[in-house]
Amino acid sequence: MDDLILKVENLTVDFAEKHVLNDLSFDVQRGDFLSIVGQNGVGKTTLVRVILGQLKPTSGKVQFVPNRSQVKIGYVPQFRNIDTEYPLSVKDFVALAFSGFKLPWLSKKEHQRLNEVLKETNLNAISKEPLGRTSGGEKQRAYLAQALVVQPDLLILDESTASLDPEAKESLLNVVSDLNSKHGLTVIFVTHDIPLAKKFANKYLFLRPNNYEFGPISNLNVEEFWKGQADV
Ligand SMILES: Nc1ncnc2c1ncn2[C@@H]1O[C@H](COP(=O)(O)OP(=O)(O)OP(=O)(O)O)[C@@H](O)[C@H]1O
């Protein structure tokens, strides 16, 4: 069944002399877990910025179904460390996602959602700990929890697992995968980690300097990917 959430049509992005994306077209269905892969500088983050509406393409379009205002997007960036003296607890940090942050005066409904999200991201046990003292994987799960507070339809992970250890990567993606399979959360996962893409995604978009491949994840050829990396 066709249940489109995002349609990218003939997308081209040029920066001055540099062609980054060239006539790119693909669809994302609700419930897809799409991995975007490709060598450094090929345009993955540029594509995410266009999808987020932060960058206007040179030509082509990005269409949300039914429309942009009815598709809630959650975004988790690459891991950034937080100072050990950062004062907020994990729970307070996640609660920053509520618009007009007003802890400890969140509504009952907001409290419920906060507790639900802390549970979903396995942060309950450490919710009162200072975020600055938690591990890298826990911090990244707190960023994920923040992105999930609004109950997004589409979650974008932009190299969000880079620089985490293998266990923390799996733990983050297990949470996302659970929400994908149980609640039909649509996921776009930008990564250089092909085994992770193979394990969690159902589709892939492989961006190359002059062309791209889009299809079911089983078609992603690991050797081709590494050959592309070696050519850089
Ligand atoms: N605002 C900009 N102005 C000029 N060039 C830009 C701009 N943004 C990105 N670029 C260039 O576009 C190219 C694609 O960048 P982008 O960050 O999208 O690549 P990427 O595939 O996400 O790379 P990586 O895997 O290293 O994160 C790069 O050469 C980058 O320098």
- pLDDT tens-place string over residues 180-197: 999 999 999 999 999 999
Predicted pLDDT of residue 232:
44
CA of 47 to the centre of ligand 1 (A): 9
Nearest residue (CA) to ligand 1, atom 13: 41
Is the residue at 77 inside a domain? no
**Distance from Cα 220 to the centre of ligand 1, integer Å:** 23
Ligand 1-lining residues (CB < 6 angstroms)? 15, 18, 20, 38, 40-46
Q: Rounded CA gap, 3 and 181, in Å?
A: 15
> What pLDDT sits at residue 17?
79
21 Cα: distance to centroid of ligand 1 (angstroms): 10
What is the average per-residue pLDDT within 121-125? 95
> Is residue 225 located within the same domain as residue 133?
no
Question: pLDDT exceeding 70 applies to what percent of the chain?
Answer: 93
Q: Are residues 63 and 177 in the same domain?
A: yes
Distance, CA 222 to ligand 1 centroid (Å)? 23
Q: Are residue 141 and residue 184 in the same domain, yes or no?
A: no
Indicate if 194 and 145 belong to the same structural domain: no
| 227 has a pLDDT exceeding 90 | no
Among 14-18, 160-164, 193-197, 228-232, the least confident range: 228-232
Domain limits for position 20: 1-71+153-232
- Residue whose CA is at the smallest distance from ligand 1 atom 26: 40
Most ligand 1 atoms within 8 A of CB, residue of 19, 39, 44, 46 to mutate: 46
pLDDT exceeds cutoff 90 at 229? no
Q: Whose CA is nearest to atom 18 of ligand 1?
A: 43
SS3 of the chain: the string is CCCEEEEEEEEEEEECCEEEEEEEEEEEECCCEEEEECCCCCCHHHHHHHHCCCCCCCEEEEEECCCHHHCCEEEECCCCCCCCCCCCEHHHHHHCCCCCCCCCCCCHHHHHHHHHHHHHCCCHHHCCCEHHHCCHHHHHHHHHHHHHCCCCCEEEEECCCCCCCHHHHHHHHHHHHHHHHHHCCEEEEECCCHHHHHHHCCEEEEECCCCEEEEEHHHCCHHHHHHHHHCC
pTM, to two decimals: 0.92
| Residue to mutate, 44, 156, 188, 210, ligand 1, most ligand atoms under 8 Å from C-beta | 44
Q: Tell me, what CATH number does 196's domain have?
A: 3.40.50.300
Q: Which residue has a Cα nearest atom 9 of ligand 1?
A: 46
Tell me how far the alpha carbon of residue 78 lies from the centroid of ligand 1, in angstroms: 15
Is residue 205 scored above 90 in pLDDT? yes
Residue 78 lies in a domain: no
Q: Is residue 79 part of a domain?
A: no
Rounded-to-integer distance, Cα 7 and Cα 130, Å: 41
Determine the atom of ligand 1 nearest the C-alpha atom of 38: 21
Query: Of 150, 184, 200, which residue constitutes the final position of a domain?
Result: 150
Structure confidence by residue, pLDDT tens digits, 147-184: 999 999 999 999 988 888 999 999 999 999 999 999 99
CA distance 130 to 92: 9
Specify whether 161 is located in the same domain as 226: yes
The ipTM of this complex is 0.96
